[in-house]
Amino acid sequence: MKGSEFKGQLSDVDLRMLRIFRAVVESGGFSAAEVELNISRAAISIAMADLEVRMGFKLCQRGRSGFSLTDEGRQVYEFTLQLLTSLEEFKTQVNSLHAHLKGELNIGITDNLVTMPRMHITHALSHLKKIGPDVNINIRMSPPNEIELAVLDGRLHVGMVPHHRALAGLNYLPLYDETSYLYCSNEHPLFQSANVSIEQLANWDAVVPAYAQSAEIKRHYQVLNGTATATDREGVAFLIMTGAYIGFLPEHFAARWVSEKRMRALTPEDLHYITPFAAISRKGARPNLVLETYLDTLGRIQSEATLKVSKRLSLNKQIGI
């Protein structure tokens, strides 16, 4: 029997075969190992044959006389125990690093995301604090362009910003989409108007953002009579609540006033836009276990949320909704 030499390298397939080999030896044969491994005897037999080819010699005798190890098989079994024990110790030691996270997470967040129902940022921070109670979390609320610059120069580890453009020095992790509508307050003359045309909107003062927007979003502001500006969404809300202005706000941010009947959306079918949000981190940054743990958690939460939405849409399609 001639096998391919290991040459100091082990693949995942090799480790799987060695784990099967260990189970066979400790169970006393192929049949008894079926229950332990929860795979068929035929699959065990194939794995053992492949392992013997890989090793280049027989590991065991099986037949009517029963199961027994060859001399080489006994030595490989001892080596296997040492290898698998070392792997488990390695996993335990790495996990202990995660269990004792220390350091800081400096995070920049665009204003007014705390009311977003999909609380990916919050849930990931909660998980980080649970596994790293000694981690110091520092949050800075800033406009998107300031967050981008702070991440690029290392003052911030991670930022949450609208994804209007991609900068070469940043990594982007998509988070979710935010929908914005045009609102007026209950003090505004349009609040009681049943039908408001887009053409009529140009007759009323509007507040427009003084921060960067994509070209697609800017088109929604071209129909407005922009006579005031605000550097953040809270400033937009302040001016809308005066009753003198109309303006765009994220749906989740305006929800509190809408529920209190202090705001209403104007022509929501036609005037709305979607803003994608992403987590940004600097490319080539020095390894940071706290940051990596947070981003891994954020990515997992985002993936799980996407999967849930996909399943719900698939189910709705099946039942004709």
| CA separation for the pair 230, 241 (Å, rounded) | 13
Q: Say if residues 119 and 178 touch (Cβ distance below 8 Å).
A: no
pLDDT, tens digit only, all 321 positions of the chain: 544 555 557 888 889 999 999 999 988 888 888 888 888 989 999 999 999 998 889 999 887 777 899 999 999 999 999 998 888 878 767 766 666 778 899 999 987 788 887 788 999 999 999 888 889 999 999 888 899 999 999 999 999 999 988 899 999 999 989 999 999 999 999 999 888 888 889 999 999 988 778 888 888 999 899 999 998 889 999 999 999 999 999 999 999 999 999 999 999 998 999 999 999 999 988 888 899 999 999 999 888 877 765 666 565 565 565
The residue among 115, 128, 118 whose CA lies nearest residue 157 is 128
Q: Say if residues 118 and 280 touch (Cβ distance below 8 Å).
A: no
- Against a cut of 0.75, is the pTM above it? no
Question: DSSP string covering 92-120, please?
Answer: HHHHHHHHT-EEEEEEEE-TT-TT-SS-H
User: Which domains does the chain carry?
Assistant: 12-98 (1.10.10.10), 102-171+279-318 (3.40.190.10), 177-275 (3.40.190.290)
| CA separation for the pair 290, 276 (Å, rounded) | 25
